[in-house]
Structure 1
Amino acid sequence: MKRTRFEGSADGGPRESAGPVPKISRKIRACQECQTRKIKCDIELGQSQCARCARIGLDCIVNKSLQTLLEDENQWKESMEMQVRNLQAALADVQRHLNLAQTVHLQPSLSPQDSRMAMQNPGLPRHMAPQGSPVATSPLRPSDVTAMTRENSPEPEMHEAQEQAIGNAPMASLFEVTKLRNIRSDPGAMVHPKVTLASEPDFISQGKVSLSEAEGLFSTFCGTLNAYLWGGIALVHRTLAETRNSSTLLTAAILAVTALHAQDGGQAFDRCYPIFLELTSQSVFKRYHSLDDIRGLCLGAFWLSDVSWKLSGLAVRIATELKLHQFCAKALQGASPEHVEKARLWYFLYVCDHHFSIAYGRPPVIHDDATITSHETLLQLPDMTQADFRLHSQVGVFIILSRVFHTFGSDRSRLVANDEFEALRRYDVDLNHWKDHWESQLRKEKFI
């Protein structure tokens, strides 16, 4: 069998000869049994057995030649290329329909000549690749400048003087020395976009829950259930429309919690609860969140016992990404309404975190720092309501319970040592003092 000859080209590179590439003309058409006995095999294309093997009951096996294997492989390759092209075209249609930027550049596949050229010249530079060839970059490979989608490091904020604080110095120095882009969030996205959902379809506009049913559930929540969480401190909106425009997750949480108490055999809950779980799952990897998203997770944590601990942990992580823990001190310094609102939500998270950790023998995530132990200072600000007093009464009791937890640990089976009874008496006195202190400051609530 002749071999393909290559001659040197003018630039010293190999060049394929003008003669055609010889093909393997001999094809195996007989099965092994007929070949061994050197008799004619009458197997036809598409049949699994020849007549002789079927009559005698032998295994009819045809050893495919190299040419047959190559033909089968080429057919499979052509079929896969056609499917990939169809998939790329469908993806482009979807991106155009959704007005999305085209992230995958569609390029034609290599022609047979280009494939042979690429195989014969493995060291060919990328800029010398055949025209129309995607050798330069893979369309599915992420760009080298792709930034992380979660805020794992502080954004550069030029307008804040706190950037030069001692607490930020170690990590800030690391960023300046390494200049690694991928350990920082996208530097171009320093300002979080204003979240507005008015023009985006939610599960109500999609018909998963009717508007009349959603209005009824929301009205029921505002009339009764909302007051159970310290006078309605978890909801700052008065209408369903305002809530929908602010946070779809909060809307779904309110409807799911209210549907849990509806006297309809669980039909409304079966519709609302999966929607809330789906939105919660999507929020895990979302880049931006709102304060109402955190409120929605907290509402779900207090009422939906099956997922309480998971929702509480997710809410705390999102809150720390939004730096809510820094606004307690800022609220006392400037008394800005925005700072007070964020500080109020951080104390709400503290209660939520401790409520679902200490009672179940789990260590809480939020620690008792100075902003927690001096929480009552915030109540001296103007415009504090009874809801704030009720919330801070819970902060006070969980401060005591946290000390109890850290003193005796999470092992409930161990015996109390003799030298620990004094600590028990001290904590008992603290709880009695807490009761007397807050009982005189809290007015009666008609729903509680």
Structure 2
Amino acid sequence: MKASLLFFCSLLGLALAQSCPDPGVNGFASAAGGTTGGGNAAAVTVTNANDLKTAAKASGARVIIVKGKIDTQGAVDVASDKTIRGQDSTATIIGGFNLKGVSNIIIKNLNIQAGGSVDTIASRNSHHVWYDHLNIWDAGDGLLDITQESDYQTVSWCKFWYSSKTGDHRLASLVGSGGGDHPEDEGKLRVTYHHNWWAENVDQRMPRVMYGEGHIYNNFFNSPGNTYCVGFGSYGSVLIQNNYFKDVKNPHQFMYDVYAYSAASGNVYDKTSGAQQTGKLGSRNVAGQEWATAAPVSPPYSYSLDSASGVPDLVKKCAGPRYNEAVVQDIESLHNTLKEIAKKVGLPEPAALQSTNLRGSTDSPSLHGRSASTTNGNGYRLGVSGQDNNHGPSCDNSPKISPEDENLPHVPIHSLYALTKLRALRSPDAPEGHSTALDDFIARGALRLDDAERLFRLYRDRLDPFMYGVGCKYQQLEELRRRSSILTAATLTVAALHDPQANGIYGVCSSEFRRLTERSMFDRRVDRDYLRAMCVASYWLSDVSWMLSGYAIRRAAECNLHNSYTRAIEDKSEEAADGARLWYILNICDQHLATLYGRPAIVQEDSSMQKWEAFLASPVANEQDKRLSSQVALLGIIGSIRELFGPDKGQPTPRAYVHQITQFNKELDHWLNHWLGTIPEESEHIGRFPRKGAKLHFHFAKLHLYSHIFRGLSGDNPIPYHFLDCAATAISVATSTINFILTDPDIAAGVVGMPSYLHCMTAFACMFLIKVAVKYGGDLIEPDRVWDMTTSLVRHFRSLPAGRWHLANLMAPGLERMAATLKRSQTGELNHLTETLPVGNGINGAIDPQLGAPSTDGTFIGSEGEFFFDYDMSFGLSPVFNFDLSSLNTENPSMAPQEFSNVNYQMAQPNT
């Protein structure tokens, strides 16, 4: 039986080895919502021109299967939301397709021979179109032209050719129009060409890109006697990666004299001649179009590059129509036999064939043909095919414990594992050894090596010290890449976020990190560097920190990371100490996020957090651990504050809390005095930030404490007399915090590097002061003073050398708009308290509590209709950072940046 199984496995393996890659829609057609065509609409098979034209022009989603040869007598008009695919490799259209003002189209698996003097396939003002596995030849004009503001299109696995050289218009594919007279195309015409075969007798336009962006990778150019292959000009930009050029002239050539841009890497030039132009080329702008740009292409999607040397064989085998029905049936027969054998020998049933899904659907099962449970929103596969729903969870084949040879179970789950052998119920095994092969997005060409090296040095030498040196234990990028792809992606993403030169590659790094995170979500085994990557992301990446922090804590617990503290102290183990530090970072992020979002922390009553002194006193502790322990100690106090006040229920803070507030204030003062004498005064890489950073955390902790007294004070409710001193302290702390950021050179420079938590608390301090100034006028703080501080902070943020998506840049326009409310409030629209309320004798001129507050008028109503000053103690990122990115204009000359001549924003010199 085993011999039979091996025999059939071999047969199936040989059959599947003959298959070609089928990644589904990718490239630009997968961006900005993606391309689904007719989706899961019921398929209709057509065998004549009338039926094809009727189905293609019908409204609504349609899946159209072309059977046999159909002469359409010209181009077929195609409406939106259509999939048109050949039933097998013999399906043929004599004619073509016309796409005008439509979207969401898939045309695949067809032979298409031109039937007239026009373009075989013409896309005009259409977006989200995928042309896949087509064999197109002998056009009267272009074989496939994409023009007139079309956008988000992908051309993959297609063959372009002409049957003779007699024609003078042997043009393959045009993107945009030349001459520099089409400004309406600027910012559009984004097209990906991958794994295409530009074959015999094609003369030029493989493709030619004008105004748009062309990502051209893994194509095979083999058309001897041509004029040029890839052409670009008139503000066009191309990224040419890992292609194979054989026996052709001018592999990539600049055209016209209007500015254009080209980048090329990893290509093979086999017996070629002529131009291989790269860089920014051209000598002029078009008059009236000086605003147009020709910048490097930065694909907003993930993709894998095949080695250029293997492209000819791969593309010649797989380009053009495929999925012959007979081949699919043969593979299915082998697969069914293998299923029967596996059932008899007690092995799990093999996964369903993806090729089977293709017979009755329009799209690749690797993206659209699977059930929703098997793919995420980006189309990445997370589990098995939807056909495998009858498969149960995986089990261990042999018993690992038995009542005779084991003690009583340590925890209840061990008992269930003993009975079921479900692998998911036991801790994962130790990860296997790391591969020495480099196979990541840098190796695939998505990120240039020199850019990656620069970002790595920025993270290692400048950013990681802000996280106490826990995030990167490697000194060389190559070592990091060999050890952990996901940690590589995480560190480079964070570095790109902070690097003003990396705006174009931040999306590449971020997409790769998200892709790796999504793909590993259900992995049984993760290693220490995987958890390190989660720490790095949770610490700096505000858009994913809440989700990843909770996930990472659970994965860390699976790996017993929470016990590293005890082992570090008892065994004096450096490896355990590293684990303890990671556990501390995860707890710090957890506590920070609990404060920001006003939600309970995940980790409660953790002994390592409460007994940090023992870890700091152990022989394995280092100087950085002093800073780390200071945070652990501070968050213990903040956690107690959250526990006292609880969630905001819209009710005023009880008077009895005055004594607890006073006690917490003393604890915070004691914390600061202790750690200012303990934390090293200066760091090699971040200067004097360590001690001053402790002061900044201290200010934010006090603001968090005292701002609670404003709870429930909406409408006409005055500040209670017993909380006047607390209100004054809250305002004093908020103003001191902002002034500290503006005036201290070490803190000013540290804005680029500090964790997202501190940026959020900075936003909270500003919003707090603005709301108080508008509600209470000049009785608690002068609006002009708040306006000056806020606008100074905006100018400072805009002067920082940080990436476009750094929180400082995202916060600036929102703070600017909020500050504008202060100027409006001084035009008479608001009733100031000073008109009716005398200043009392409290701290900083507190309001006399015997007098009432002004009545509400329209100025207090927010843009969404809510009461503007219903003060919400949830400092969540959602309301704080809900800024319109379109308003971001870091180059506005009217906003002169604030100068800090004594601030050093640069990273320390890298260690070599």
Question: Out of 182, 196, 218, which is 2:434 matched to?
Answer: 196
Q: Deviations over 1:273-306 (max 9, x none)?
A: 1111111111211221111111112212222211
Q: CA deviation at 1:444?
A: 2.2
CA distance in 1, matches of 2:518, 2:581: 26
Question: Out of 538, 555, 563, which is 1:301 matched to?
Answer: 538
Which residue of structure 2 lines up, in the alignment, with residue 333 of structure 1? Answer: 570
Cα distance change, pair 343–89 in 1 and its aligned pair in 2 (3 A): farther
Question: Out of 607, 611, 618, which is 1:370 matched to?
Answer: 607
* Structure 2 letter corresponding to 1:103: P
Q: CA deviation at 1:81?
A: 7.4
Which residue of structure 1 lines up, in the alignment, with residue 424 of structure 2? Answer: 185
* Structure 2 letter corresponding to 1:322: C
Which residue of structure 2 lines up, in the alignment, with residue 147 of structure 1? Answer: 395
Pairing 1:406-421 to 2, within 5 Å after superposition? 406-411=643-648, 413-421=650-658
**Which secondary structure state, in structure 1, belongs to the residue aligned with residue 562 of structure 2?**
helix
Q: Deviations over 1:64-102 (max 9, x none)?
A: xxxxxxxxxxx9xxx99757526659999xxxxxxxx99
Question: Out of 223, 227, 231, which is 2:461 matched to?
Answer: 223
Question: Out of 171, 183, 188, which is 2:413 matched to?
Answer: 171
Cα distance change, pair 87–339 in 1 and its aligned pair in 2 (3 A): same
Q: CA deviation at 1:170?
A: 3.5
- Does the 8 Å CA contact 1:256/1:273 hold for their aligned counterparts? yes
Which residue of structure 1 lines up, in the alignment, with residue 183 of structure 2? Answer: none
- Does the 8 Å CA contact 1:233/1:388 hold for their aligned counterparts? no
- Does the 8 Å CA contact 1:315/1:349 hold for their aligned counterparts? yes
CA distance in 1, matches of 2:583, 2:589: 10
Question: Out of 423, 428, 443, which is 2:665 matched to?
Answer: 428
Which residue of structure 1 lines up, in the alignment, with residue 523 of structure 2? Answer: 286
1:245 corresponds to 2:478: no
Q: Deviations over 1:103-131 (max 9, x none)?
A: 3599xx9xxxxxxxxxxxxxxxxxxxxxx
Amino-acid identity (%): 30
* Structure 2 letter corresponding to 1:146: S
Q: CA deviation at 1:248?
A: 0.8
Which residue of structure 2 lines up, in the alignment, with residue 26 of structure 1? Answer: none
Looking at both structures, which has the greater relative contact order when contacts are Cα pairs under 8 Å and sequence separation is at least 6?
A: 1
Cα distance change, pair 105–164 in 1 and its aligned pair in 2 (3 A): same
1:207 corresponds to 2:451: no
**Which secondary structure state, in structure 1, belongs to the residue aligned with residue 543 of structure 2?**
helix
- Does the 8 Å CA contact 2:428/2:558 hold for their aligned counterparts? no
Q: Deviations over 1:348-380 (max 9, x none)?
A: 111111112222202111112322211111011
- Does the 8 Å CA contact 1:300/1:308 hold for their aligned counterparts? yes
Cα distance change, pair 410–156 in 1 and its aligned pair in 2 (3 A): farther
CA distance in 2, matches of 1:270, 1:175: 43
- Does the 8 Å CA contact 1:156/1:190 hold for their aligned counterparts? no
* Structure 1 letter corresponding to 2:446: K
* Structure 2 letter corresponding to 1:181: K
Cα distance change, pair 90–208 in 1 and its aligned pair in 2 (3 A): farther
CA distance in 2, matches of 1:444, 1:211: 36
Pairing 1:48-447 to 2, within 5 Å after superposition? 82=326, 84-85=328-329, 88=332, 103-104=350-351, 146-147=394-395, 168-176=410-418, 179-182=419-422, 184-185=423-424, 191-199=429-437, 201-230=439-468, 232-264=469-501, 266-411=503-648, 413-446=650-683, 447=686
- Structure 1 residues without counterparts, runs of 5 or longer: 1-44, 50-74, 93-100, 110-138, 149-154
CA distance in 2, matches of 1:425, 1:262: 42
Cα distance change, pair 288–172 in 1 and its aligned pair in 2 (3 A): closer
Q: Deviations over 1:409-433 (max 9, x none)?
A: 1217431112222221111111111
- Structure 2 residues without counterparts, runs of 5 or longer: 1-46, 52-86, 88-322, 337-347, 357-386, 690-912
Q: Deviations over 1:219-256 (max 9, x none)?
A: 121221122222x2222111111211221111101111
Q: CA deviation at 1:321?
A: 1.3
- Does the 8 Å CA contact 1:145/1:181 hold for their aligned counterparts? no
Cα distance change, pair 145–370 in 1 and its aligned pair in 2 (3 A): closer
Higher helix content, 1 or 2: 1
**Which secondary structure state, in structure 2, belongs to the residue aligned with residue 436 of structure 1?**
helix
CA distance in 2, matches of 1:91, 1:444: 68
**Which secondary structure state, in structure 1, belongs to the residue aligned with residue 472 of structure 2?**
coil
Cα distance change, pair 157–200 in 1 and its aligned pair in 2 (3 A): farther
CA distance in 2, matches of 1:362, 1:105: 43
**Which secondary structure state, in structure 2, belongs to the residue aligned with residue 288 of structure 1?**
coil
CA distance in 2, matches of 1:314, 1:396: 24
Q: CA RMSD in A?
A: 3.8
Cα distance change, pair 215–156 in 1 and its aligned pair in 2 (3 A): farther
CA distance in 2, matches of 1:164, 1:427: 47
- Does the 8 Å CA contact 2:417/2:425 hold for their aligned counterparts? no
- Does the 8 Å CA contact 1:327/1:342 hold for their aligned counterparts? yes
| Greater C-alpha Rg | 1
- Does the 8 Å CA contact 2:395/2:420 hold for their aligned counterparts? no
* TM-score, normalization by structure 1: 0.63
CA distance in 1, matches of 2:433, 2:492: 21
CA distance in 2, matches of 1:430, 1:415: 24
Q: CA deviation at 1:337?
A: 2.1
CA distance in 2, matches of 1:253, 1:175: 35
- Does the 8 Å CA contact 1:302/1:352 hold for their aligned counterparts? yes
CA distance in 1, matches of 2:327, 2:646: 60
Cα distance change, pair 300–80 in 1 and its aligned pair in 2 (3 A): same
Q: CA deviation at 1:322?
A: 0.8
CA distance in 2, matches of 1:47, 1:382: 82
Q: CA deviation at 1:47?
A: 11
Q: Deviations over 1:9-38 (max 9, x none)?
A: xxxxxxxxxxxxxxxxxxxxxxxxxxxxxx
Cα distance change, pair 431–157 in 1 and its aligned pair in 2 (3 A): farther
- Does the 8 Å CA contact 2:574/2:620 hold for their aligned counterparts? no
CA distance in 1, matches of 2:401, 2:574: 21
CA distance in 1, matches of 2:421, 2:610: 38
